[in-house]
Amino acid sequence: MKELGGKSAIPVKNVEIHQPKGGSQEHYKPRDQIYVRKVTGFYQQLRQKMNFVFLFMFAAIPWVNFNGQQAVLFDIGEQRFNIWGLTLWPQDLTLLAWLFILSAFLLFFVTTFLGRVWCGYMCPQTVWTFIFIWFEEKIEGTANQRKKLDAQKMDATKLRKKALKHFCWLFFSVLTALTFVGYFTPVRQLFIDFFTLETSLMAAGFVWFFAFCTYGNAGWMREIMCLHMCPYARFQSAMFDKDTLTVSYDYNRGENRGARGRKQDPKALGLGDCIDCNLCVQVCPTGIDIRNGLQYECINCGACVDACNGVMERMNYEPGLIRYTTEHELKGKKVHILRGKLVGYATLMIIMTSLLGYEIATRVPVSMDIIRDRNELARENFNGEVENVYTLKILNKSQQDNTYRLSVEGIDGAKWIGESEVFVKAASVYTLPISIAVDPYELKDYMTDITFVVELAEQDSDVRLAHDSRFFKKR
């Protein structure tokens, strides 16, 4: 770091930008369409398998039943989330907050360790984009064939291929939207009502809205979402360090670039291992040249790694000219896997996971609201006792029907007037009006603290909830 005018100057790393074949400085202009070339290899097979698992889970989970109802259902209208036997209500939003915070730190941990692998392997935008590209390849052909098709004038063949492609895109988008909306409304009835044109206006509106978003994002916008609209692309660099595993080009080994015969010695020609074939650019879904250094557009999908390794194999060169590596490794320095930032994220995740698990384990699957009679705080009954009137709202937060036993504590000799044992259906509220009567000689003060207790009527049950309230003496 040099001193300029008494101030410290930030060190700048100069990266040489090579001219591609054809003389243009950019492979793709900002609004040019990218024709992604198909590539095979280890990382693409891994990505496809992970995409399949992700897509299968997304499509299958809403159809799974648990305890006779949809296992995962975020019922906003009823204000409850059913997640595999666990029902969350507005009172349980702290659990969702913990879950979101834990997910954020998990993303930070993975990004610091492995770079943007979430973007390349599991992000829905990437998964659906590659699915739409698969439709293109099956209907319109290879990247070069698609480019020629777009350049030619409209005829019957082009119209047929374009119409079939967009029909497949739209049909898959509608299925995607129906599945997504099925997480928020019963999915079986949704599919029946939608295809029989009996669905509600709101449900149909959401389905077509999400279908339009899927069709636009994966079919038309694609890399624009990653480059200009995704906030993660902008702040992920703040989590990178020199030991983060990213897709990188080995500059020292690859330069100077140049074409050569397979049997020619590159060292005799003054060349590196890069033959400047530009395959790494042609297979990139965001249209960047990884040889120009680390760029925020790179989603770590590994397509360029597989393409380059294929070329190296055909040239009888060592693979790994483009590979998953770290900046320290490229410079021949020691790679530090265990480092402060990574250990810090891991520690926070362990702590938050433990707190989340504890909160779920100690969560009482019942809640109670106590509403006092607003017209009269206290009254005297025909036995000369002081009587307070309450309305209890008992919420069964579980997914099973339960019977609850009710009682009051805090005043000796208090009489419970009303039902003391109630049956409450699963995920429903039971409203119970009751009165508490007390001999006035037992009341020393104008206001006495009392506690309402609700317990599961089953024997050996540890479900118990206490709720504080007040009992007033008649003046």
**Within this chain, do residues 299 and 383 fall inside the same structural domain, yes or no?**
no
User: pTM of the entire structure?
Assistant: 0.82
* Residue 383 and residue 328 in one domain: no
DSSP output for 233-282: HHHGGGG--TT--EEEE-HHHHPSP----TTS-TTTTT--S-----HHHH
3-state secondary structure of 388: strand
> What local confidence, expressed as pLDDT, does residue 12 receive?
53
Q: Give yes or no for a contact between 36 and 284, defined as CB atoms under 8 angstroms apart.
A: yes
Clarify whether residues 128 and 260 are in a common domain. Answer: yes
Residue 345 in domain: no
Residue 386 placed within a domain: yes
CA 310 – CA 319 distance, rounded (Å): 8
Residues 57, 50: contact at Cβ < 8 Å? no
Same domain, 245 and 120: yes
Select from 275, 310, 332 the last residue of a domain. 332
Alpha-carbon distance values, 186 to 4, 190, 305 (Å): 66, 6, 43
Residues 392 and 311 in one domain: no
Query: What residues make up the domain containing 463?
Result: 366-472
Of the candidates 431, 363, 461, 402, the one whose C-alpha atom is nearest the C-alpha of residue 83 is 363
Determine the Cα–Cα distance for residues 128 and 220; give it in Å rounded to an integer.
12
Mark whether 298 and 411 lie in a shared domain. Answer: no
Give pLDDT, residue 427: 84
Number of folded domains that form the chain: 2
With respect to residue 349, please indicate whether it lies within any of the assigned structural domains: no
List Cα–Cα distances, 193 to 76, 126, 168, 185, 188, in angstroms: 19, 30, 22, 12, 9
In a domain, 169, yes or no: yes
Residues 324 and 371 in one domain: no
- Same domain (yes/no): 413, 282: no
Residues 321 and 375 in one domain: no
CA distance 256 to 429: 74
Q: Is residue 8 part of a domain?
A: no
Of 311, 314, 333, 336, the residue nearest 322 (C-alpha) = 311
* 322 plus 396 within the same structural domain: no
- For residue 93, what pLDDT is reported? 81
Do both 304 and 436 map to the same domain? no
Cβ 146 vs Cβ 134: under 8 Å: no
Q: Which residues make beta-bridge pairs with 408? A: 452
Nearest alpha-carbon partner for 110 in 341, 297, 288 = 341
Return the closest-CA partner of residue 308 out of 275, 347, 343, 350: 275
Q: What is the rounded distance in angstroms from the CA atom of residue 432 to the CA atom of residue 62?
A: 35
Considering only CA atoms, which of 467, 450, 451 is closest in space to residue 366?
467
- Specify if 81 maps to a domain: no
pLDDT in tens, the chain (475 residues): 445 555 555 555 555 555 544 444 444 444 578 999 999 999 999 999 999 999 999 999 999 998 888 999 999 888 888 888 888 888 888 888 888 899 989 999 999 999 989 999 999 999 999 999 999 999 999 999 999 999 999 999 999 999 999 999 999 999 999 999 999 999 999 999 999 999 999 999 999 999 999 999 999 999 899 888 888 888 887 888 899 999 999 999 999 999 999 989 999 999 999 999 999 999 999 999 999 988 888 999 999 999 999 999 999 999 999 999 999 999 989 989 888 889 999 999 999 999 888 888 888 889 999 999 888 889 999 889 999 999 999 999 888 899 999 999 999 889 999 999 999 998 889 999 999 999 998 888 899 999 999 999 887 778 899 999 999 998 7
Within a domain: residue 84? no
Is residue 122 packed enough to be buried (19+ CB in 10 Å), middle (13-18) or exposed (0-12)?
A: middle
In a domain, 11, yes or no: no
Same domain (yes/no): 264, 399? no
